[in-house]
Amino acid sequence: MAKAPLILFTRAGEPGWAERVRAIAPGARLFDEKELEDDPGLIGRVEICYPGLKPELWDKAARLRWVQADYAGVDTFVDRPEVRRHPAVLTNVHIHGQSIAEHLWGMTLALTRNLHKAAAEQAKGSWKASLREGLSSLAGHTLCVAGLGIVGTRCAEIGRAFGMSVIGISRHARPNRAADEVVGSAERARAFARSRVIMLILPNTPDTVGFVGKPELDATQGAFLLNAGRGPSVVTDELVAALRDGRVRGAGLDVTDPEPLPGGHPLWAAPNVIITPHYAGNHPGYAAEAFEVFCRNLERWMRDEPLECVVDRAAGY
């Protein structure tokens, strides 16, 4: 079993968290950022950090062996040179599957059933019967999910429940139980052409920047495009053009590029667009769930077992 570690908490925990950690790692020394400010030399002795570490401290953390993040998207974290060159293991959490899937499907249903427009009319006290026109169905059509991790798989499962067939897009094109077929990213335009709904749940990597640009949007046939991965996956100006000419019938964006969009940007006022401020992954109990991931990994650490949810820094996720 590992010796009692020195653990830095960079965010205030809930009542009882310290006791829980000490029960898993008897004798562990826990300290926070206030103590670190009072004694900067502590950073050279810390071994474990939760839920993150400021970039300027990585090079000073000579004994750091493991950082547990409390979020999934670590792209802005691992892109920093001081993080890439440090030997510490970086782990994240995979607790967003249900909440992001619900968020994406909520936006999809709003767009296909004109619910966002009905809500706007309700706020004005207006009964607008014309909202019955221009509706779109899901059953019998195809869903394309780009990014078949935990979140994408859950989105695909829900799509099947709506009676849709599912095309998945993944880097390795491996079969997935929730998809009828899985293709590589090079096939994305052809997959988009067959789809009524396209959902993007992609990390921000060199391979995913501009994943949806003019060639891909030219291939769509009036599909609905949803993005809850990272904003740079979609070329924003091309999306604006595709929404205007009908290549994309509607868009649900929890992320944008830039983020947030500047005032006056055409997407703000687009009638066929729903924008939410990057909160699809948030849900009640999030902090407690993330802490549970840390505790499970700490148990593994104390038993000298491999950690779960280890980030591949080269891949960026």
Residue 230: active-site member: yes
Per-residue b/e over 103-120, b at no fewer than 16 CB within 10 Å? bbbebbebbbebebbeee
**Residue-wise DSSP of 147-190:** --SHHHHHHHHHHHHTT-EEEEE-SS----TT-SEEE-GGGHHH
User: Do the beta carbons of residue 8 and residue 53 sit within 8 Å?
Assistant: yes
Q: Give the list of residues 6+ apart from residue 123 with CB closer than 8 angstroms, or none.
A: none
- Give the β-pairing of 48-50 and 6-9: parallel
Residue 259: active-site member: yes
* Residue of 86, 230, 247, 249 with catalytic role: 230
* Residue of 35, 181, 259, 305 with catalytic role: 259
Residue 14: active-site member: no
With 0-12 CB in 10 A as exposed, 13-18 as middle and 19+ as buried, what is 49? Answer: buried
Q: How far apart are CA 67 and CA 301, in angstroms?
A: 12
Question: Looking up tokens 């604006």, which residue turns up?
Answer: 240
* Residue of 20, 113, 194, 278 with catalytic role: 278
Q: How far apart are CA 259 and CA 256, in angstroms?
A: 5
Which of 144, 136, 241 shows the shortest CA–CA distance to 192?
144
Catalytic residues: 230, 259, 278
